Amino acid sequence: MKREMLLWDETIFKDREVLEFDHLPEHFAHREPQMESLKFCVKPVFAGGRPVNALCLGPPGTGKTTAVVKLFTEIEAHSTKVIPVHVNCQIDHTRHAIFLRIYSKLLGHSPPTSGVSFKRVLERIAKAMTTENRVIVVALDDVNYLFPEREVDRVLYTLLRAHETFPGFRAGVIAILSEPALSYIFDPRVGSVFQAEEVSFPLYSIEEIRDILGRRVHLGFYPGVASGEIIDLVSDLTERAGDLRVGIDLLKRAGMEAERRASRIISKEDVDRAYERSRLVHLSSALKPLREDELLLLGLAAEMETSKAGDLYERFKDATGSGYTRFHEILNKLDAARLIDTDFSGPGHRGRSRVVRIRYDPKEVLDRIRPKENI
């Protein structure tokens, strides 16, 4: 007779890793046209040409990063001449940091930590590429983090025009942006060489969500843990959120809720409790890389909900003693991270004034920031 309750050393999870939203699935369903488009962009490399640049567009949680990582995995399995470099622009958001990432991937080790100029790093990259007849394909994931101070123009200009200084330098770029369209206007010198093939990633349909989550349940839980009704419920909540990552995280957290009750099956109540944590998983992931003063400014913006940049700066300066330059940098970063909107409206004492609006429910933001502030 099957026991109703879990023993202390038992688990309902067959493979927890499958229920992480950054898990790379072996079977990547419902994105076949996008994968074919990306393969088309890389194909010229294998005939001695340059890659076609690509721009992956679509809402968060629609498979953009997974598609590029799957492509890069296939490239590495079949070629030693094409070097794919995945860059998380949340972490590496300057030209120097990005080229250090390229250097490390290409040469297999990091350059000296001090005393090496950007010019020397670029020269070393170019020499390794041209001597060994290698091509780099650089994915700039969350490229919007390069929009402040127009850093993206510097990165793309260097990558895509390096062949003018270093004959034989071949590079392509795949930019990933969690928006339905690109609103950024490139420097004309960059726009003339970037000319990216747009690859659109629409929201998953409810049927596609149910299929993907059903596969995760099959691989992640033991049989009978999540019924069809539970999968349907999680799928409906995922479609409402418009982000597949919510559903994957919700399955994991609902399983944890069931285990907390020592239950062998996930109940509707487990899903309901877990949803409070999972429904804003995109907000939580956007907060993770923020530094203390960046969280503080976001908290001030959430408290004020809508404010003029000058008023927000005065509060920030009183709290930190930082100058306007640092305030401006953080404001641009929070805007790039889609945590706030900053619109210009009318004249201010520094030219046109900016109006800062929080993009989430202020209480949701403050509830997630305050524990970090108290650490």
65: annotated binding-site residue?
A: yes
158: annotated binding-site residue?
A: no
279: annotated binding-site residue?
A: no
Q: How far apart are CA 95 and CA 120, in angstroms?
A: 14
Q: How far is CA 160 from CA 79, 170, 171, 196, in A?
A: 22, 8, 6, 12
Does residue 301 contact residue 358 with C-beta atoms inside 8 Å?
yes
Q: How many CB atoms lie within 10 A of CB 368?
A: 19
Q: How far apart are CA 220 and CA 216, in angstroms?
A: 6
Q: Vertex 136, ends 335 and 177: CA angle to 5°?
A: 25
Q: How far apart are CA 56 and CA 174, in angstroms?
A: 7
- Residue showing tokens 């194909």: 43
Q: How many CB atoms lie within 10 A of CB 341?
A: 14
Q: Vertex 52, ends 47 and 57: CA angle to 5°?
A: 145
As given in the structure block, the two tokens for residue 157 are 């200009």
63: annotated binding-site residue?
A: yes
Q: Which helix (H) or strand (E) holds 310?
A: helix 309-320
Q: How far is CA 355 from CA 184, 233, 314, in A?
A: 19, 39, 14
216: annotated binding-site residue?
A: yes
130: annotated binding-site residue?
A: no
Residue 246 has, within 13 A of its CA and on its CB side, a CA count of 27
As given in the structure block, the two tokens for residue 45 are 């490399």
Could you give phi then psi for residue 57, rounded to 5 degrees?
A: -120, 145
Q: How far is CA 257 from CA 10, 20, 23, 163, in A?
A: 14, 16, 21, 55
| Residue 121, C-beta contacts closer than 8 angstroms, at least 6 positions apart | 96, 99, 100, 103, 111
Q: How far apart are CA 361 and CA 363, in angstroms?
A: 5
Q: How far apart are CA 137 and CA 139, in angstroms?
A: 7
64: annotated binding-site residue?
A: yes
**Annotated binding-site residue numbers for ATP:** 62-66, 204, 216
**Annotated binding-site residue numbers:** 62-66, 204, 216
